[in-house]
Amino acid sequence: MPNRNSSRKGSPKEKKPKLPFSLSQYGSLRKRLSFLEKLSIGIGFVIAAVLLFPPPSVAPKSEYREGAVSDKQVIAPFQFSILKPDAQYQAEKEEAAKTVLPVFVIDPQQTSRCMARLAALTQAMQTRKEKRATSLDLSALADVRLSPETQSFLTRTDLGLEVVSEVERFAARTLDAGVVKSKRGVEIDAHHKVRIRTATGESEIPVSALQDKNSVLEKARADAEREFPGNAAVKSAFLELVGDLVDPNAEYDAVRTESERTETRSSVSPYEGVVLQGEKIIESHERITSEHLKKLRSLEYYRHGLSQGVHGLGRSLPYASRIIVTSLFVFVFAWYARVRRPKILSASPMLLLIAIVAILVVALASIVLNILKQSPYLVPIAIVPFLLTLLLDDELALLVGVVTSVLIGALAGLDLVFLLVSLVAVITGVFAAIGVTHRRQFYRAMLFVAMAYVVAIFAGGFSSNMAGSVVIKSAGFGILNSFVSTLIAIALLPVLESTFGLTTNITLLELSDLNRPILRKMMIDAPGTYHHSMVVGSLAEGAAEAIGANSLLARVGSYYHDIGKIGKAEYYVENQKDARSRHDRLTPTMSCLILESHVREGVEISEAEKLPRLIRQLILEHHGTTLMAFFYQKAIEIDSDAPIDEYRYPGPKPSSKEAAIIMLADSVEAASRSLSAPTPSRIHGIVKRIIENRATEGELDECGLTMAELAKIRGSFVPILTSIFHARPSYPGDVKKRENGDINSEQTEKDRHSF
């Protein structure tokens, strides 16, 4: 037999593992993660909706062609500018960009390095002259690479220092003007001038005046000839020094040049004239010329709200407006959920379910309107009320349906008639889905929605002067829409139920079938428990109806709440066939373990039977943490120090009204069965006492029941119990049996039903 102390309390010497963070930090982290999940769902919905309904194309396909004959007269409805043809506009921008001259920037550091090398060479030459050295290695004293002949000339002749000084003056003039690597780059070829930027300013020079290495050497040759005519050795040394010491110091500034060209392109006007309001653009039956075409296409752009489409900001504005509108609808829903349905807002899976259903309808609307180009009355908006009413809540379904209808109308640019028809369909769909408990009742809801479409379309169509044939055709689309919406809802309902662990009344009604294998097994193997569950189901259903809870869930949950007793049916008093109980041979602790196990085994059986999570939760909570008083009393007779917590069910306490109702119905049914004379007053007294005890013990603290609701529950229990356990007159045979001891006393019966 397992040790209950060790299984529940643990060894007193056992140390609890230290967490790397406090529980308060964990709670804060979980809240942040939950917020991020909800934010991600909201952002995902907004992005999906905007992508499904993007703004109209910046370049809509024109219905006009040059050379064709116009079939109508076109008068300008408003003043607008004439847009240049795209090819012309792009060409003008490129021509404007070519007017921006390439920019070259002189690097002062490169200039300083060149002049520093020349200064070092001059210093080396001065040292040679002062020390009267006959030989000197210039490469070792200055960063120069000279031929031996030039080094010998510079160090052994008196002209050496003069040549170096002249080279230094030449380099200063040349580097100040700027030297580029090559004048044949693509950045120069298309231009006759360039701009040179220095630390003091910027100047324009002809490309012919721009210096590269080759032009510098040509200029150096001319200067050497002019300064040292007829001396070949001097000219050779001069050219070699210039070639080694004067390096390019000006680089092409691509970033600045392209920035200025982009700015110049953007300054080109996309317009080339204005058409005044009321001005005739083209006459009927007139041939369309290029000038006509410019005006007609410009008018098309403006009619689509695309006059700013040629600018980058203009392209983003339609997307930004749609994001803002969609985000506003999401905010409205979140605000409503926070005020009216906080449990939904706190559950990310439920928010994801709502987002999936809404975006599914938006996607279908996009297919109908953008791809198939069909009537907006084919948008299956009724899917939202059908699914969300059955899966979650009718009020929430109404809000999401209204928001989705308005959002589709806003994104698709539909008229008020569509909005009117959609709202009527949504409201009708919600009320029609509330009463659906069988799948075949979907078709009744379909008929209601179809009639709502017809009435709303006729009302909206005639009020907006729509042609009769168009109204009739639109009504036909509405009828087809209701049929398609119903089929899609029927197909999606079981998928969403299993995916998100939800239970609809349709599923509950299927589970209420008493021919299900697990219920038939309970009827055969544990007939007393089966009968007890049926009675508890009737009690729970009546109580749930009295307080407005889910009566079907309460009844079905009652059917399955004790399925864990099937395996050990003979240990439960309602299934015992003789007066002697099997618990008479067991210790109180072992009896307590057996009784407690039926909750755990019930959950295991429900998982094996693939019962919904909601039913498993009711099985787990239907005893809460109540005390097994009969066995606890036996235990303290053996050991007065027996811990009371060892004889309680492990819980958890009921977390819903339906679970609490099942707990109370289970208790009052067993207690009422123990009464030998179940008069209405005695039944009323025992029901009142049990409900008060459960409330006092704190078993009902987490279910949300109010005192007024408990009074209604008590009032619903008493008539049902009275009709079930009504007193009947004693017949002579019964009297004789009682005298012979064949019928147990009231106290014995009460003790048996206590477990």
- Kindly report, residue by residue over 505-514, the tens digit of the pLDDT: 888 888 888 9
Indicate whether 721 pLDDT > 70: yes
| pLDDT tens for each residue of 239-285 | 878 877 788 888 888 888 888 888 888 888 888 888 888 888 887 67
Distance between CA 402 and CA 491 in Å, rounded?
Answer: 23
Give the residue with greater pLDDT, 394 vs 302. Answer: 394
| pLDDT tens for each residue of 471-497 | 899 999 999 999 999 999 999 998 998
Q: How confident is the model at residue 415 (pLDDT cuts 50, 70, 90)?
A: confident
Radius of gyration of the chain (CA): 47
Length of the chain: 755
| pLDDT tens for each residue of 199-211 | 777 888 787 777 8
- Strand 80-83 relative to strand 74-75, pairing: unpaired
Q: What backbone torsions phi and psi does residue 724 show, to the nearest 5 degrees?
A: -80, -45
pLDDT at 10: 38
Domain boundary among 476, 502, 528: 502
Q: What backbone torsions phi and psi does residue 484 show, to the nearest 5 degrees?
A: -65, -45
| Domain shared by 583 and 706, yes or no | yes
| Domain shared by 494 and 403, yes or no | yes
Distance between CA 197 and CA 219 in Å, rounded?
Answer: 22
| Domain shared by 476 and 362, yes or no | yes
Helix, strand, coil percentages, rounded to 5, for the chain? 65, 5, 30
Q: What is the mean pLDDT of residues 601-611?
A: 90
Q: Where are the alpha helices (DSSP H) in 464-511?
A: 468-500, 505-511
Domain boundary among 502, 530, 555: 502
Nearest to 326 by CA among 50, 141, 687, 658: 50
pLDDT at 736: 43
pLDDT at 114: 84
Residues in contact with 331: Cβ distance below 8 Å, sequence separation at least 6, in sequence order: none
| pLDDT tens for each residue of 101-143 | 888 888 888 888 888 877 877 777 777 666 655 555 555 555 6
Average per-residue pLDDT in the chain?
81
| Domain shared by 548 and 421, yes or no | no
Distance between CA 545 and CA 720 in Å, rounded?
Answer: 13
| Domain shared by 498 and 573, yes or no | no
Nearest to 410 by CA among 340, 323, 489, 503: 323
Nearest to 294 by CA among 85, 60, 505, 528: 85
Q: What angle do CA 628, 634, 639 make, to 5 degrees?
A: 115
In a domain, 86, yes or no: no
pLDDT at 111: 81
Residues in contact with 565: Cβ distance below 8 Å, sequence separation at least 6, in sequence order: 522, 526, 529, 572, 575, 598, 602
Element (H, E) at 533: helix 527-547
Residues in contact with 521: Cβ distance below 8 Å, sequence separation at least 6, in sequence order: 566
Indicate whether 579 pLDDT > 50: yes
Element (H, E) at 346: helix 342-346
- Across 86-201, where does the E strand assignment appear? 103-106, 193-197
| Domain shared by 361 and 486, yes or no | yes
| pLDDT tens for each residue of 651-676 | 799 989 999 999 999 999 888 887 77
Distance between CA 304 and CA 153 in Å, rounded?
Answer: 82
Q: Edge to edge, what strands does the sheet with 250-252 contain? A: 202-206, 193-197, 103-106, 250-252
In a domain, 285, yes or no: no
Q: What is the mean pLDDT of residues 360-384?
A: 92
Would you say 660 and 700 are in contact if contact means Cβ atoms under 8 Å apart?
yes
pLDDT at 413: 80
| Domain shared by 551 and 446, yes or no | no
Distance between CA 128 and CA 501 in Å, rounded?
Answer: 98
Sign of CA dihedral 392, 394, 397, 399: negative
DSSP 256-325: HHHHHHHHHHHTS-SEEEEE-TT-EEE-TTPBP-HHHHHHHHHHHHHHTT-TTTTSHHHHHHHHHHHHHH
- The string over 461-496, giving b where at least 16 C-beta atoms fall within 10 Å of a residue's C-beta and e elsewhere, is beeeeeeeeebeebbebbbbbbbbbbebbbebbeeb
Q: What is the mean pLDDT of residues 336-350?
A: 85
DSSP 48-116: HHHHHSPPPPSSPPPS--TTSBPSS-EE-SS-EEEEPPHHHHHHHHHHHHHTSPPEEEE-HHHHHHHHH
Tokens of 610: 């693939």
pLDDT at 309: 46
| Domain shared by 476 and 527, yes or no | no
The gap from C-alpha 597 to its chain's centroid, in whole angstroms, comes to: 42
Q: Check which CATH number belongs to the domain holding 641 and give it.
A: 1.10.3210
- Strand 103-106 relative to strand 250-252, pairing: antiparallel
| Domain shared by 543 and 680, yes or no | yes
- The string over 253-262, giving b where at least 16 C-beta atoms fall within 10 Å of a residue's C-beta and e elsewhere, is beeebeebbe
Q: What is the mean pLDDT of residues 543-547?
A: 93
Nearest to 576 by CA among 408, 339, 744: 744
In a domain, 22, yes or no: no
DSSP state of 512: T
Distance between CA 53 and CA 408 in Å, rounded?
Answer: 8
In a domain, 259, yes or no: no
Residues in contact with 665: Cβ distance below 8 Å, sequence separation at least 6, in sequence order: 536, 539, 540, 543, 558, 717
Indicate whether 460 pLDDT > 50: yes
In a domain, 271, yes or no: no
Distance between CA 537 and CA 170 in Å, rounded?
Answer: 111
In a domain, 534, yes or no: yes
Distance between CA 549 and CA 508 in Å, rounded?
Answer: 14
| Domain shared by 591 and 735, yes or no | yes
Number of domains in the chain: 3
In a domain, 63, yes or no: no
Element (H, E) at 205: strand 202-206
Q: What angle do CA 40, 43, 45 make, to 5 degrees?
A: 105
Q: Check which CATH number belongs to the domain holding 446 and give it.
A: 1.10.1760
Range of the domain at 708: 507-753
Distance between CA 206 and CA 524 in Å, rounded?
Answer: 109
pLDDT at 578: 67
| Domain shared by 445 and 368, yes or no | yes
Distance between CA 163 and CA 174 in Å, rounded?
Answer: 16
Would you say 250 and 105 are in contact if contact means Cβ atoms under 8 Å apart?
yes
Q: What is the mean pLDDT of residues 368-385?
A: 91
What residues pair up with 222 in beta bridges, in sequence order?
none
| Beta carbons within 10 angstroms of residue 498's beta carbon | 12
Helices then strands (H, E): number in the chain? Answer: 32, 8
Indicate whether 188 pLDDT > 90: no
Judged by average pLDDT, the poorest of 50-64, 179-193, 619-633 is: 50-64
Distance between CA 713 and CA 569 in Å, rounded?
Answer: 29
Domain boundary among 226, 248, 270: 248
DSSP 437-455: -SGGGHHHHHHHHHHHHHH
| Domain shared by 632 and 704, yes or no | yes
Residue with tokens 């240990």: 571
pLDDT at 543: 94
pLDDT at 16: 38
In a domain, 307, yes or no: no
